[in-house]
């Protein structure tokens, strides 16, 4: 099995840029996906296939990949972006793994 | 609209089994894989496995092999996840989610629709 590693927390002031990295041996061979989860709610897919933004997701959310790390970037962070963010990948047999999650705090 | 509706909350005793259902509507049920993901209180997301409704093929996380069974009934667009030999640390919210895919090679496109979650509490 493989693991995905994320920082437990990231803090930024409103209007700044937040970057959340996710590292693992699955990358770059496999795609990375990002989910946003607010308290008491189901997760929401934000980014798929490393950098594709799901329809309806604000343009300030973007994804990128470099080597063994995928990164979620939130540009011009707003108070409503405060949430937990999880990266995810899958190997060639379809076995899925999630990162441990990152709590984004808007100061 | 496209949605997954899960069955209601369950309270079980240690050693019992639980079966959670996930009913799909407004999309082609057999056109998307269905994942089961759980989240213990205050913890992160944990993938349990998936079922391909088109044929019934499954892939379970190693941690749950021998204890989890995922099935589906295409006549009513419903998937099921049964977890046996429950322990207190199985207390969690259980989600189903659908995932578009390409078959050869198997490539996912992300879990784009999620159920509302089913709370399972295991307590004596």
For tokens 């997301």, the residue is B45
Mean pLDDT, chain A, integer: 96
How wide is the angle at C-alpha A3 spanned by C-alphas B92 and A28, nearest 5°?
130
pLDDT at residue B107, as a whole number: 86
Q: Closest to A101 (Cβ–Cβ): which among B35, B44, B107?
A: B44
Q: pLDDT per residue over A58-82, tens digit each?
A: 999 999 999 999 999 999 999 999 9
Average model confidence (pLDDT) across chain B: 96
Asked if the Cβ–Cβ distance from B46 to A48 is below 8 Å, we say no
E strand intervals along B7-91: 10-12, 18-25, 33-39, 45-51, 58-60, 68-73, 78-83
Residue B85 confidence class, pLDDT cut points 50, 70, 90:
very high
Report CB contact under 8 Å: B50, A92. no
Mean pLDDT of A4-10: 98
The pLDDT confidence band at residue B101, using thresholds 50, 70 and 90, is: confident
pLDDT for the residue numbered A1: 65
Q: What is the mean pLDDT of residues A36-62?
A: 97
Q: Measure CB to CB from residue A48 to each of B110, B114, B115 and give the nearest one.
A: B110
pLDDT at residue B17 above 80? Answer: yes
User: For residues A11-31, b (16+ Cβ closer than 10 Å) or e, as one string?
Assistant: ebeeeeebebbbbbebbeebb
Read off the pLDDT band of A33 (50, 70, 90).
Answer: very high
How far is residue B92 from each of residues B10, B37, B87, B114, measured CA to CA in Å?
10, 10, 11, 16
Quick check: A92 and B106 CB within 8 A?
A: yes
Chain A touched by B42 (CB under 8 Å): no
Q: How far is B60 from chain A (nearest CA, A)?
A: 8
Q: Chain B: residue nearest A85 by CA?
A: B44
Average of pLDDT values for B40-67? 97
Give the pLDDT mean for A53-58: 95
């Amino acid at each position: 099995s493989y693991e995905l590693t994320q920082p437990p927390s990231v803090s930024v002031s409103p209007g700044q840029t937040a970057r959340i990295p996710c590292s693992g041996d699955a990358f770059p061979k496999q795609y990375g996906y990002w989910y946003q989860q607010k308290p008491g709610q189901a997760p929401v897919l934000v980014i798929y296939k490393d950098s594709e933004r799901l329809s309806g997701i604000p343009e300030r959310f973007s994804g990128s990949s470099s080597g063994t790390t995928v990164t979620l970037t939130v540009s011009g962070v707003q108070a409503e972006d405060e949430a937990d963010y999880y990266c995810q990948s899958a190997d060639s047999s379809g076995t899925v793994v999630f990162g441990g999650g990152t709590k984004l705090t808007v100061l | 609209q496209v949605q997954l509706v899960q069955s209601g909350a369950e309270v079980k005793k240690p050693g019992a089994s639980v079966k959670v259902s996930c009913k799909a509507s407004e999309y082609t049920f057999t056109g998307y894989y269905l994942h089961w993901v759980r989240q213990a209180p205050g913890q992160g997301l944990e993938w349990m496995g998936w079922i391909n409704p088109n044929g019934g093929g499954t892939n379970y996380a190693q941690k749950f092999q021998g204890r989890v069974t995922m099935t589906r009934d295409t006549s009513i667009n419903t998937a099921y996840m049964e977890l046996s030999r429950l322990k207190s640390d199985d207390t969690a919210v259980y989600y189903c989610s659908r995932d578009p895919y390409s078959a050869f090679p198997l490539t996912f496109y992300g879990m784009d629709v999620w159920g509302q979650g089913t709370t399972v509490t295991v307590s004596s």
